[in-house]
């Protein structure tokens, strides 16, 4: 089982606070014995929604810089409040909308469902081949020269102790093994981080990889017109 949550308003999911969905759109296009158990009038059943993955995205035709992003994660604190279903979302990674379209049949998500604001509870699971395409997300991505690693590692440890998700290459070695690093770093510095921290030094401005990371991060900052670097 997994959740599919869709909205037209292009700002609906741009928050780390409470999110909302109209209660009359809850469980549209849902099916299966597990989904049948879930009832907004029975709070205990809503815990089932928190135990399974969630795909959170915008309707086809929506505008905004994140219109083509499909977020992957888990919902928390689901409850009814008047005419709304209220919840928090813990994001763990992202897909492009093209990946969703590629797997839509296996996910049993009809095309028209992508053009309606609703919350569906689906049978089955998210295909492993799709999960392999997941782009991880971080609160902060680090860009630095190897010569500055000793200091950067101290900062990374401090942030991790305070529950900040950090992209620090030494901690990602298993994931980086065998990947096209130029392509992967385009994803990391162009999409994966909420913020990018650059550790500027003489060595930093001389390195090829840090130039690549900096250009990718700057391109994103210019596109989004927000506080990223």
| Tokens at 72, concatenated | 């992957």
Same domain, 12 and 115: yes
Q: How far apart are CA 148 and CA 158, in angstroms?
A: 16
Those residues with Cβ within 8 angstroms of residue 132's Cβ, 6 or more apart along the chain or in another chain: none
Q: Is residue 229 part of a domain?
A: no
Same domain, 172 and 215: yes
Q: Considering its fold, how many domains does the chain have in total? A: 2
Domain boundary, last residue among 85, 105, 131:
131
In tens, the pLDDT along 46-87 reads: 999 999 999 999 999 888 888 889 999 999 999 999 999 999
Domain boundary, last residue among 131, 149, 172:
131
Q: What is the extent of the structural domain holding 81?
A: 2-131
Same domain, 126 and 165: no
Same domain, 123 and 143: no
Query: Angle at CA 101, nearest 5°, toward 10 and 126?
Result: 95
Only one residue has tokens 């888990």, namely 74
Domain boundary, last residue among 131, 166, 194:
131
Q: Is residue 79 part of a domain?
A: yes
221 touches 193 (CB < 8 A): no
In tens, the pLDDT along 162-190 reads: 989 999 888 665 565 555 567 777 878 88
Q: List the one residue out of 135, 136, 153 whose CA is nearest residue 144.
A: 153
Q: Which residues of 42-59 are buried (b: 16+ CB within 10 A; e: fewer)?
A: eeeebebbbebebbbbbb
Q: Is residue 71 part of a domain?
A: yes
Q: Is residue 143 part of a domain?
A: yes
Q: Which residues of 113-128 are buried (b: 16+ CB within 10 A; e: fewer)?
A: bbebbbbbbbeeebee
Q: How many residues does the chain have?
A: 229
CATH of residue 146: 3.40.50.10140
Q: List the one residue out of 17, 14, 123, 28 whose CA is nearest residue 71.
A: 14
pLDDT at 171: 64
Q: How far apart are CA 227 and CA 220, in angstroms?
A: 10
Same domain, 19 and 123: yes
In tens, the pLDDT along 6-35 reads: 999 988 998 888 999 999 999 999 988 999
Q: List the one residue out of 80, 100, 93, 135 whose CA is nearest residue 4.
A: 100
Same domain, 122 and 148: no
Q: Is residue 110 part of a domain?
A: yes
Same domain, 102 and 206: no
Q: Is residue 102 part of a domain?
A: yes
Report the predicted TM-score, pTM, of the whole model to 2 decimal places. 0.77
Q: Is residue 217 part of a domain?
A: yes
41 touches 69 (CB < 8 A): no
Same domain, 41 and 118: yes
Same domain, 152 and 192: yes
Full DSSP string of 189-205 = IIIIEEEEEE---HHHH
Q: Is residue 26 part of a domain?
A: yes
Q: What is the mean pLDDT of residues 198-207?
A: 95
């Amino acid at each position: 089982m997994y959740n599919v949550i869709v909205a037209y308003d292009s700002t609906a999911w741009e928050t780390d606070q409470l999110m909302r969905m109209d209660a009359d759109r809850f469980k549209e296009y849902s099916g299966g014995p597990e989904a049948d158990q879930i009832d907004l009038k029975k709070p205990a059943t809503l815990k089932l929604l928190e135990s399974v993955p969630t795909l959170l995205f915008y309707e086809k035709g929506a505008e905004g810089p994140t219109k083509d992003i499909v977020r992957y994660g888990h919902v928390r604190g689901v409850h009814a409040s008047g005419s709304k279903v209220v919840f928090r979302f813990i994001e763990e990674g992202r897909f492009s909308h093209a990946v969703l379209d590629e797997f839509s049949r296996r996910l049993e998500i009809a095309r028209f469902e992508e053009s309606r604001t609703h919350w569906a509870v689906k049978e089955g699971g998210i295909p492993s081949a799709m999960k392999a395409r997941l782009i991880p997300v971080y609160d902060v991505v680090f860009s630095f020269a190897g010569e500055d690693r000793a200091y950067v590692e101290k900062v990374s440890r401090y942030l991790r102790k305070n529950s900040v998700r950090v992209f620090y290459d030494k901690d990602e070695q298993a994931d980086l093994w065998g990947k096209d690093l130029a392509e992967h770093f385009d994803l990391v510095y162009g999409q994966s981080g909420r913020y990018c921290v650059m550790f500027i030094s003489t060595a930093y401005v001389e390195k090829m990889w840090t130039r690549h990371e900096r250009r990718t991060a700057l391109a994103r900052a210019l596109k989004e017109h927000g506080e990223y670097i």
